[in-house]
């Protein structure tokens, strides 16, 4: 999911020289300006454009010298996106009010059982209390939507709230809005307003706020009634991507700008791909700040890169969402010749296979991936294939089928661990986790005449190991802001069944249009839906309060009651789960919240040593950090702690946190401290907080001390964890602590 951003400017200059200034290459630049120099933004923005330009370079319009501005931003930041040459930018730098310009980057999308898995059931509990998210508007920055899907039908939806100012820009015949789908804007200029051909936007939109639709399923499996997390919330779609791998920053900025203006309550952004940009240099982060400032909750995908320090969308004003499994698995059981039974997953059912020969052929080059030329002897057999970078499960199945194999068992690599997918395989197939794969190999090694049967069991609900962190879910520590723990939360993102523009099984069948896909793209809209439920139940809560409620009430244990595990089936650490797995019902009644007002981020940004200009770009006005009492990152009133205390000597860090009572009057909370690391001490003062009234704010001090002499290993950097929980008769308000020491 990483991106290499290449600038060809140097090369183009040379070409231009040799071609005698024939045509200058134009790139899309993101330009920031200082609006205090003008009252009329349009005229002001235009004043930065070159008056005479080299024509012919812009292939989409070679007859004009003013095709330049793609988007004029008003809310997301002061500036515009325009097609410019390097020389144009140089000329612009001299103009009054110029702040900065850089070529845009291109991001990408981070590609139902989940509501009831999250404890949401019709006519009871949170769904009832929050009225299913009624009255809230979720803005989806994505690929658009297929409006004809029943998930987006009008049925039973009230009209949008009076504050809604959005528009419906479907081209005639391409769709229409209604009380569910209240807005649609298309911000990518090069493509005509399409429906969502690739499906990603349809899937994420229906996950956040799709209607109840009976008869959902995938190849006859996982049958049931599908619904989004906030089935009575309204949806507004902002198409900012050309396809799943191309979301230009200029369009993302325009999408956020329009969403702020239109009046959305929640922004759902299942996209990313830029690794560790400074916030001022990241349209997503700046846009999310401006949205947050207007009271909009911004839920964003953590990324699909897996591995340490891979998390994206790191700014503290994002709700950054990692991905985990649900308790539903479309299950196949392999019965090995020695009687051992091993479970795996597939997306497509098949008549169970009686005992057949089981083989593990070597491909060309001796590797065990089923790729290219295979041994013709696999005909009629069950073939074991190593999953890998070069070929995935579906590809392995295609290769085995081409050679006449009867079925395929796909073994995960160690890295992929236990994360398996409900893929629509082309022949009877199952994918098994790494540890189970080792058992199959052990059996193959034990006998020259290995056999297996494969029994298809369909969707099995109740896997009590769930939720398990997905192999691909990106992790902390954050590179950009190590003093903030990221991701914030995990939610369902593996094998998620949701709406699709076409039927995956049968393109001519327009009735059953569903697909099962995975990614933090899928977990993000789950949390957007939860935010809508909370916003509907607590319209006066700030974005930070809603995020705090979600974080401090998150689950630490799986259905079985054991600590949540990662794909390696080890206890998951705070860098993979953040504050834990979302528990919407608990989040609705958290007792206390850690609130943050937009201005609180200014001392934090100055403390990150951002320049005044950078801070100004983010917050949208002039800031002089010399006059701001800046704070270290970890002093932000965040609902989690990330404490970096490296160095050869004893270390000490102190901070104050403030809690706001949103639970019950006259409640007394006492602190509980969990710290597992040797030589690390956490002290909280006072140890008891008494809140008399609702809305009361009380502070506590916490100090973190690392005493080197009591640590056996003194000179290596260690990641470890603990927690601080405030507990009353009715509530437990828990914050994880991540230590890098």
With CB under 6 A as the contact rule, the residue among 37, 96, 622, 685 that binds ligand NAG is 685
Q: Which of these ranges, 46-54, 240-248, 299-307, 417-425, lies near ligand NAG under the rule CB under 6 A?
A: 240-248
Is residue 243 within the footprint of ligand NAG (CB under 6 A)?
yes
Closer of 449 and 508 to ligand NAG (Cβ) = 449
Closer of 173 and 448 to ligand NAG (Cβ) = 448
The site that binds ligand NAG (CB under 6 A) totals a number of residues, namely 25
With CB under 6 A as the contact rule, the residue among 155, 307, 372, 686 that binds ligand NAG is 686
Element (H, E) at 430: strand 429-432
Closer of 341 and 656 to ligand NAG (Cβ) = 656
Q: How many CB atoms lie within 10 A of CB 353?
A: 18
Is residue 647 within the footprint of ligand NAG (CB under 6 A)?
no
Q: How far is the CB of 85 from ligand NAG (least distance, A)?
A: 18
Q: Which of these ranges, 27-35, 164-172, 318-326, 441-449, lies near ligand NAG under the rule CB under 6 A?
A: 441-449
With CB under 6 A as the contact rule, the residue among 187, 266, 385, 608 that binds ligand NAG is 608
Q: What's the angle, vertex CA 9, arms to CA 4 and CA 14, rounded to 5? A: 135
With CB under 6 A as the contact rule, the residue among 449, 508, 649, 709 that binds ligand NAG is 449
Separation in Å, CA 4 to CA 251, 328, 475: 19, 37, 20
In angstroms, the CA 599 to CA 603 distance is 8
Q: How far is the CB of 607 from ligand NAG (least distance, A)?
A: 7
**Burial degree of 462 (CB within 10 A; 0-12, 13-18, 19+):** exposed
Task: Give long-range contacts, CB 8 A cutoff, 24+ apart: 17-20.
Answer: none
- Tokens 């800046």 correspond to 630
Q: How far is the CB of 323 from ligand NAG (least distance, A)?
A: 22
Is residue 93 within the footprint of ligand NAG (CB under 6 A)?
no
With CB under 6 A as the contact rule, the residue among 156, 458, 563, 674 that binds ligand NAG is 458
Contact 144, 201 (CB under 8 A): yes
With CB under 6 A as the contact rule, the residue among 155, 156, 158, 220 that binds ligand NAG is 220
Closer of 27 and 242 to ligand NAG (Cβ) = 242
528 is known as an active-site residue: no
Residues 609-638, mask of contacts with ligand NAG (x by CB under 6 A): x-----------------------------
Query: Considering just the CA atoms, what is the radius of gyration of the chain in Å?
Result: 27
Q: How far is the CB of 180 from ligand NAG (least distance, A)?
A: 24
With CB under 6 A as the contact rule, the residue among 2, 7, 36, 64 that binds ligand NAG is 64
SS (H, E, C) 520-578: HHHHHHHHHHHHHHHHHHCCCCCHHHHHHHHHHCCECECCCCCECECCCCCECCHHHHC
Residues 702-721, mask of contacts with ligand NAG (x by CB under 6 A): -------------x------
Is residue 246 within the footprint of ligand NAG (CB under 6 A)?
yes
Longest dimension (CA), the chain: 83
Task: Name every residue whose Cβ is closer than 8 Å to that of residue 45 and which is 6 or more positions away in sequence.
Answer: 33, 69, 72, 79, 80
**Burial degree of 589 (CB within 10 A; 0-12, 13-18, 19+):** middle
Q: Which two tokens stand for residue 480?
A: 């950009």
Q: Which of these ranges, 5-13, 277-285, 445-453, 468-476, lies near ligand NAG under the rule CB under 6 A?
A: 445-453
Is residue 61 within the footprint of ligand NAG (CB under 6 A)?
yes
Is residue 507 within the footprint of ligand NAG (CB under 6 A)?
no
Is residue 406 within the footprint of ligand NAG (CB under 6 A)?
no
**Burial degree of 512 (CB within 10 A; 0-12, 13-18, 19+):** middle
Q: DSSP characters for 198-258?
A: SSHHHHHHHHHHPPPEEEEEETTEEEEEE--SSTTSEEEEEE--SBTTBEEHHHHHHHHHH
Q: Which of 47, 46, 54 is nearest to 25 (CA)?
A: 54
State the catalytic residue, choosing from 299, 521, 523, 579.
521
Rounded to 5 degrees, φ, ψ at 724 are -125, 125
- Tokens 């090694």 correspond to 445
Q: Which of these ranges, 171-179, 217-225, 388-396, 567-575, lies near ligand NAG under the rule CB under 6 A?
A: 217-225
Q: How many CB atoms lie within 10 A of CB 429?
A: 29
With CB under 6 A as the contact rule, the residue among 59, 63, 192, 709 that binds ligand NAG is 63
Contact 526, 493 (CB under 8 A): yes
In angstroms, the CA 642 to CA 130 distance is 32
With CB under 6 A as the contact rule, the residue among 148, 245, 556, 732 that binds ligand NAG is 245
Q: How far is the CB of 17 from ligand NAG (least distance, A)?
A: 27
Q: How far is the CB of 594 from ligand NAG (least distance, A)?
A: 16
Q: Which of these ranges, 252-260, 447-455, 470-478, 728-736, lies near ligand NAG under the rule CB under 6 A?
A: 447-455
Q: How far is the CB of 498 from ligand NAG (least distance, A)?
A: 17
**Region 653-672 residues binding ligand NAG, contact defined as CB under 6 A:** 656, 665-666
Closer of 220 and 307 to ligand NAG (Cβ) = 220
Q: Which two tokens stand for residue 150?
A: 């029943």
Angle between the N-to-C axes of helices 520-537 and 543-552, in degrees from 0 to 180, rounded to the nearest 10: 110
State the catalytic residue, choosing from 71, 200, 203, 234.
200
Task: Name every residue whose Cβ is closer than 8 Å to that of residue 287 and which is 6 or more positions away in sequence.
Answer: 76, 77, 252, 253, 256, 257
609's torsion region: left (phi>0), alpha (psi -120 to 50) or beta? left
**Region 718-737 residues binding ligand NAG, contact defined as CB under 6 A:** none
With CB under 6 A as the contact rule, the residue among 103, 217, 424, 598 that binds ligand NAG is 217
Closer of 373 and 449 to ligand NAG (Cβ) = 449
Q: How far is the CB of 353 from ligand NAG (least distance, A)?
A: 18
- Reduced to 3 states, what is the DSSP secondary structure of residue 260? helix
In angstroms, the CA 324 to CA 118 distance is 12
200 is known as an active-site residue: yes
Q: Which of these ranges, 39-47, 63-71, 404-412, 593-601, lies near ligand NAG under the rule CB under 6 A?
A: 63-71
Q: How far is the CB of 202 from ligand NAG (least distance, A)?
A: 17
Q: Give the up-direction half-sphere exposure of residue 242: CA atoms within 13 A in the CB hemisphere.
A: 11
142 is known as an active-site residue: yes
State the catalytic residue, choosing from 58, 142, 436, 566.
142
Is residue 510 within the footprint of ligand NAG (CB under 6 A)?
no
With CB under 6 A as the contact rule, the residue among 701, 703, 710, 717 that binds ligand NAG is 701
With CB under 6 A as the contact rule, the residue among 88, 146, 242, 614 that binds ligand NAG is 242
Is residue 60 within the footprint of ligand NAG (CB under 6 A)?
yes
Contact 116, 47 (CB under 8 A): no
Q: By CB under 6 A, name the binding residues for ligand NAG.
A: 60-61, 63-64, 67, 217, 220, 223, 242-243, 245-246, 447-449, 458, 608-609, 656, 665-666, 685-686, 701, 715
Catalytic residue ranges = 142, 200, 521
């Amino acid at each position: 999911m990483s991106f290499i951003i290449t600038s060809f400017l140097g090369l183009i200059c040379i070409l231009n020289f040799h071609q005698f200034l024939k045509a200058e290459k134009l790139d899309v630049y993101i330009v920031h300006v200082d609006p205090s120099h003008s009252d009329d933004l349009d005229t002001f923005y235009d004043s930065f454009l070159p008056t005479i330009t080299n024509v012919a370079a812009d292939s989409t319009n070679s007859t004009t010298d003013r095709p330049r501005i793609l988007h004029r931003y008003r809310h997301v930041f002061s500036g515009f996106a325009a097609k410019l040459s390097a020389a144009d930018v140089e000329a612009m730098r001299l103009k009054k009010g110029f702040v900065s310009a850089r070529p845009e980057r291109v991001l990408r999308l981070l590609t139902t059982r989940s509501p009831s898995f999250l404890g949401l059931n019709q006519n009871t509990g949170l769904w009832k209390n929050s009225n299913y998210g009624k009255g809230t508007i979720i803005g989806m920055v994505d690929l658009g939507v297929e409006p004809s899907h029943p998930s987006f039908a009008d049925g039973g939806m009230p009209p949008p709230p009076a504050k809604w100012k959005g528009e419906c820009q479907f081209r005639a015949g391409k769709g229409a809005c209604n009380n569910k789908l209240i807005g649609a804007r298309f911000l990518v200029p090069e493509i005509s307003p399409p429906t969502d051909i690739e499906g990603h936007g349809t899937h994420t939109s229906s996950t956040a706020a799709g209607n109840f639709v009976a008869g959902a399923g995938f190849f006859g499996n996982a049958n049931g009634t599908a619904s989004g997390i906030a089935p009575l919330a309204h949806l507004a779609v902002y198409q900012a991507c050309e396809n799943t791998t191309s979301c230009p920053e200029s369009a993302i900025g325009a999408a956020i700008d329009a969403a702020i203006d239109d009046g959305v309550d929640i922004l759902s952004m299942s996209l990313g791909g830029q690794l560790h940009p400074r916030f001022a240099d990241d349209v997503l982060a700046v846009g999310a700040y401006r949205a947050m400032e207007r009271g909009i909750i911004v839920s964003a995908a953590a990324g699909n890169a897996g591995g340490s320090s891979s998390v994206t969308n790191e700014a503290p004003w994002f709700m950054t969402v990692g991905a985990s499994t649900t308790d539903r698995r479309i299950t196949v059981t392999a019965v090995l010749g020695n009687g051992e039974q091993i479970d795996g997953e597939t997306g497509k059912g098949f008549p169970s296979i009686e005992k057949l020969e089981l083989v593990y052929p070597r491909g060309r080059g001796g590797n065990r991936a089923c790729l290219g030329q295979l041994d013709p002897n696999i005909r009629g057999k069950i073939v074991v294939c190593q999953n890998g970078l070069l070929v995935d499960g579906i590809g392995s199945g295609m290769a085995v089928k081409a050679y006449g194999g009867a079925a395929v068992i796909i073994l995960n690599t160690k890295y992929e661990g236990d994360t398996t997918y409900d893929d629509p395989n082309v022949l009877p197939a199952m994918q098994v986790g790494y540890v189970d794969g080792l058992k199959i190999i052990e059996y193959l090694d034990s006998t020259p005449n290995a056999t297996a049967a494969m029994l298809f069991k369909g969707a099995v609900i109740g896997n009590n190991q769930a939720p398990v962190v997905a192999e691909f879910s990106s992790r902390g520590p954050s590179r950009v802001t190590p003093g903030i723990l990221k991701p914030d939360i995990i939610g369902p993102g593996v094998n998620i069944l949701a709406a699709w523009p076409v039927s995956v099984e049968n393109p001519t069948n327009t009735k059953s249009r569903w697909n099962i896909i995975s990614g933090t793209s899928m977990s993000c809209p789950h949390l957007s839906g939860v935010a809508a439920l909370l916003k509907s139940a607590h319209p006066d809560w700030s974005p930070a309060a809603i995020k705090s409620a979600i974080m401090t009430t998150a689950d630490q244990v799986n259905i079985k009651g054991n600590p949540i595990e990662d794909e390696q089936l080890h206890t998951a650490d705070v860098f993979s789960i953040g504050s834990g797995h979302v528990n919407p019902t608990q989040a609705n009644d958290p007792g206390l919240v850690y609130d943050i007002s937009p201005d609180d981020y200014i001392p934090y940004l100055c403390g990150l040593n951002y320049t005044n200009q950078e801070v100004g770009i983010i917050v949208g006005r002039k800031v002089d950090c010399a006059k701001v009492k800046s704070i270290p990152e970890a002093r932000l009133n965040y609902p989690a702690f990330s404490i970096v205390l490296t160095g050869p000597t004893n270390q000490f860090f102190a901070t104050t946190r403030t809690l706001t009572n949103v639970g019950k009057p006259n409640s007394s909370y006492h602190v509980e401290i969990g710290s597992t690391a040797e030589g690390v001490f956490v002290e909280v003062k006072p140890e008891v907080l008494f809140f008399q009234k609702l809305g009361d704010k009380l502070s506590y001090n916490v100090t973190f001390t690392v005493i080197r002499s009591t640590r056996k290993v003194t000179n290596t950097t260690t990641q470890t964890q603990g927690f601080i929980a405030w507990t009353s008769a009715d509530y437990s308000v828990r914050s994880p602590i991540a230590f890098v020491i």
